[in-house]
Amino acid sequence: MPNATAIINLDIEGPKISRHLYGHFAEHLGRCIYGGFWVGEDSPIPNEGGIRLDVVEALRALNIPNLRWPGGCFADEYHWKDGIGPRDQRPRMVNTHWGNVEENNHFGTHEFMALCELLGAEPYISGNVGSGTVQEMSEWVEYLTREGDSPMVRLRKANGREEPWRVKFWGIGNETWGCGGNMRAEYSADLARQYATYCRDHGDNKLYRIASGASDADYKWTETLMQQINCFGCEATPRTFFQGISVHYYTLAGPWEAKGSATDFDTDDYYRTMVSARKIDRILTGHSTVMDCYDPGRKVGLVLDEWGTWWDVEPGTNPGFLFQQNTLRDALVASTHFDIFHKHAERLYMANIAQTVNVLQAMVLTDGDALVLTPTYHVFEMNKGHQDAASLAVHLRSDDARRAVGDAQLDTVSASASVKDGTVLISLSNLDAEEPADVTLDLRGGSLGEVTARILTADRLGAHNTADTPGAVAPRTFDGLKATDQGLALTLPPHSFLTVQAPLA
């Protein structure tokens, strides 16, 4: 049986794991907003002001730190003024990116801000650069965040909201290299500077501006942005134009043209998926290395504001709606991503899984009034103690927890650890499809009090939850931990995710 030793120094705290690494993404795409978050006030499904309460309740248990909206590709054809005022008078449009369906704009700015309040999440608004104007974006910031009296403040008040909202995260375009305008990096960087200039800080509302960044390993794009980040001529009050730059990376088992089924896959597909998931480590390292050259003090945040699995849509569903099931395989993609995110805590400030409800690697799936929690949901829940915790470096040693997958080598044990308020949380994944792994937790520099552990696994990798079998993949108590002279020992079953929690003694 493969074995691995994880050396963890309990007394050496590393960089803080930003809670925003557990961020989310909700686009006007398929049934994410309509039917997912939003059912309307007249729906028989219990709602508050039109927002589905079962979805809110499920997501509140994840402590969602931020929610990105309204896209994605949709953001670059969204005109925010169409989504305010009486709903029956709001203009309609065609959502050309996603299914060519009509958008009635019933879910707009006020509805989104109400959703964030219900979730206890910070809003992350993605502004339109592709087909919008500087004035339109500037006025949206004013509408949301300005106090006192001004044209946009009067408009907001006329729509029933006296006080400004607080909005920190502001995206300047999305995928400007593709659906957001098919731009060159140089042009996109210039536009980002221009738009950022007019996205003002009103009063004490300070924006965190996020420039539309690279896809995958396009380090040249990141370099082009970083070269343009400083405001020359602002020497009196030195500042950068954007506080963060984004990157997108999706996990696939093969090429875009042959993504494969979410549920019906074989072991080879599974291992290729895990190699693809692990690639995020190299990609984050690449972008961080470029950023270090221009920003050695690591003040500018890397924002992975789209990540997750992308499979073929479920048979019989609209191909433009990106509705996919979610199995134990997806859960392990998430758990290994989080281990890698924690390792990059010093530069990686935010990450947003795509997407929260009914689209791509979702937390919850709805069907009429039914709601199902996915295996990925449980990883977010089991890992939530890492939010804003101090990372603890994990030195993983193994001679044999490794598999050849084509030309690649897949390390099959993945781990990360943190400490917050005197409580240690250790996350462990065994990515091997068949073999258990003997794991030693070599704990140094301290010891633990009463230890509890939970495990997420199932008899097969394709296991998933449905309305008829909602608990097919759900966390269970794990009682296989043994105290040793070194710390703890356990056997990690194949394809499993486990968390160990304990107070420092």
Catalytic residues: 175, 306
Q: Distance between CA 98 and CA 29 in Å, rounded?
A: 6
C-beta of 161 vs 209, nearer to ligand AHR: 209
Binding segment for ligand AHR (CB under 6 A), chosen from 67-75, 145-153, 251-259, 470-478, is: 67-75
CB 178 within 8 A of CB 250: no
C-beta of 111 vs 175, nearer to ligand AHR: 175
CB 360 to ligand AHR: min, Å:
6
Query: Given CA atoms 27, 31, 36, 40 in this order, what sign does their dihedral have?
Result: positive
The two tokens of residue 51 are 């927002």
Binding segment for ligand AHR (CB under 6 A), chosen from 69-77, 198-206, 284-292, 461-469, is: 69-77
CB 71 to ligand AHR: min, Å:
5
CB 59 within 8 A of CB 67: no
CB 39 to ligand AHR: min, Å:
22
CB 126 to ligand AHR: min, Å:
9
Q: Strands (DSSP E) along 44-161, which ranges?
A: 47-48, 51-52, 66-69, 93-95, 101-103, 122-127
C-beta of 174 vs 457, nearer to ligand AHR: 174
C-beta of 216 vs 438, nearer to ligand AHR: 216
CB 354 to ligand AHR: min, Å:
4
Reduced to 3 states, what is the DSSP secondary structure of residue 487?
A: strand
Candidates 103, 122, 281, 306; binder of ligand AHR (CB under 6 A) is: 306
Q: Give the residue nearest to ligand AHR (CB).
A: 72
**71 binding ligand AHR? (CB under 6 A):** yes
159-178: contacts with ligand AHR (CB under 6 A): 174-175
Q: Distance between CA 303 and CA 347 in Å, rounded?
A: 9
CB 463 to ligand AHR: min, Å:
25
Q: How far apart are the first and last CA of the chain?
A: 32
**213 binding ligand AHR? (CB under 6 A):** no
Which stretches of 344-469 are DSSP H helices? 375-382
**72 binding ligand AHR? (CB under 6 A):** yes
Binding segment for ligand AHR (CB under 6 A), chosen from 65-73, 224-232, 386-394, 427-435, is: 65-73
# residues contacting ligand AHR (CB under 6 A): 10
C-beta of 281 vs 306, nearer to ligand AHR: 306
C-beta of 170 vs 497, nearer to ligand AHR: 170
Binding segment for ligand AHR (CB under 6 A), chosen from 8-16, 68-76, 220-228, 231-239, is: 68-76
Q: How far is CA 387 from CA 235, 341, 488, in A?
A: 36, 11, 24
443-502: contacts with ligand AHR (CB under 6 A): none
CB 441 within 8 A of CB 488: yes
Binding segment for ligand AHR (CB under 6 A), chosen from 3-11, 61-69, 71-79, 336-344, is: 71-79
**27 binding ligand AHR? (CB under 6 A):** yes
User: Per residue in 198-207, is it b (16+ CB within 10 Å) or e — as a string?
Assistant: ebeebeebeb
**127 binding ligand AHR? (CB under 6 A):** no
Q: Distance between CA 89 and CA 83 in Å, rounded?
A: 10
C-beta of 77 vs 142, nearer to ligand AHR: 77
CB 435 to ligand AHR: min, Å:
34
C-beta of 23 vs 71, nearer to ligand AHR: 71
Q: How far is CA 238 from CA 13, 201, 223, 304, in A?
A: 31, 15, 20, 26
The two tokens of residue 467 are 């309305």
**36 binding ligand AHR? (CB under 6 A):** no
CB 179 to ligand AHR: min, Å:
6
Q: Strands (DSSP E) along 152-289, which ranges?
A: 169-172, 208-215, 244-251
CB 462 within 8 A of CB 28: no
C-beta of 77 vs 111, nearer to ligand AHR: 77
By CB neighbour count within 10 A (0-12 exposed, 13-18 middle, 19+ buried), where does 252 fall? middle
User: 327 φ, ψ to 5°?
Assistant: -115, -175
344-403: contacts with ligand AHR (CB under 6 A): 354-355, 360
**295 binding ligand AHR? (CB under 6 A):** no
Task: Enumerate residues 6+ apart whose C-beta is below 8 A from 230.
Answer: 238, 240, 241
Query: Inter-axis angle of helices 109-119 and 134-145, to 10 degrees?
Result: 50
| CA 359 centroid distance within chain | 13
Angle at alpha carbon of residue 503, lines to 501 and 505, rounded to 5°: 135
Q: Distance between CA 34 and CA 52 in Å, rounded?
A: 10
Residue among 173, 241, 185 at smallest CA distance from 208:
241
Binding segment for ligand AHR (CB under 6 A), chosen from 66-74, 145-153, 365-373, 474-482, is: 66-74
CB 355 to ligand AHR: min, Å:
6
CB 177 to ligand AHR: min, Å:
10
Tokens 């008899």: give the residue. 459
C-beta of 97 vs 278, nearer to ligand AHR: 97
Pattern 73-92, ligand AHR, x by CB under 6 A: x-------------------
Tokens 């937390």: give the residue. 363
Residues of this chain that interact with ligand AHR (CB under 6 A) are 27, 71-73, 174-175, 306, 354-355, 360
